[in-house]
Structure 1
Amino acid sequence: MKTGSKLLSSVCTTEVMVVKGADVELACGGVPMVDTRSDELGTVADGFDGGTVLGKRYTHEASGLQVLCVKPGAGRLSVNGEILAELAAKKLPSSD
């Protein structure tokens, strides 16, 4: 996966943009993500529901993959069956 690539889920409305690329296969809802979506959506696999949140970044620590959710959906993002972690916002220093 190259930085700047846009990937679509084939089981829900989730769309992501690759922020930091890695040589892995990204899945959403338990099904690999694709470049172009067909008109008919599949079903989210058990354990991979819970959704993605618009504007949040998700990361896979082991590979360094980082993606940004540009359109939310019902499926959760994963790599090799491992659910991606949502990156927490960095705390800014106080402006006393």
Structure 2
Amino acid sequence: MQLKPGSRWKSAVCDTEVVVVRPPKCDVVLECGGAPMVAKDAPVPEGLELSADLAGGTSVGKRYFSDAIGIEVLGSKAGKGSLSANGVPLALKEAKALPASD
């Protein structure tokens, strides 16, 4: 799938929704809960179920990334599924520590 900055995607197996912050340089399959995600305004395919192995959850307002693939997404709606791209789990991006001001 062709991911573009600002594009919105939703899970086919849970309530998770994301916004692409940094797209990869090549085509990848963005997945949630073991199933490919679909464009926010597209219909959800029927018959798909949340994989128990990929049910770690996604949080709203958190960024998920993979440096190996070069992708970063922002959770816009929380859900039960875990995010992955081409089968590679996306990691939670930690906030950068601000310098101390004394």
Partner of 2:73: 67
TM-score, normalised by the number of residues in structure 2: 0.87
> Residues 42-64 of structure 1, C-alpha deviation per residue, up to 9 Å, x if partnerless?
32113110100110000011121
Partner of 2:10: 8
Kept after mapping to 1: 8 A contact 2:38/2:44:
no
Kept after mapping to 2: 8 A contact 1:12/1:41:
no
Q: Which of 26, 30, 42 is 2:34 aligned to?
A: 30
> Residues 80 and 71 of structure 1: is their aligned pair in 2 closer, same or farther, counting only changes over 3 Å?
same
Count of residues paired in the alignment? 96
- Higher strand content, 1 or 2: 1
Structure 2 stretches of 5 or more lacking a match?
A: none
Please tell me the residue identity of whatever aligns with 1:34. Answer: V
Q: State percent identity of aligned pairs.
A: 49
What's the RMSD between the two structures over aligned residues? 1.6
TM-score, normalised by the number of residues in structure 1: 0.92
- Secondary structure, counterpart of 1:68 in structure 2: strand
Q: Distance in 1 between matches of 2:83 and 2:68?
A: 15
Q: Which of 62, 85, 92 is 1:86 aligned to?
A: 92
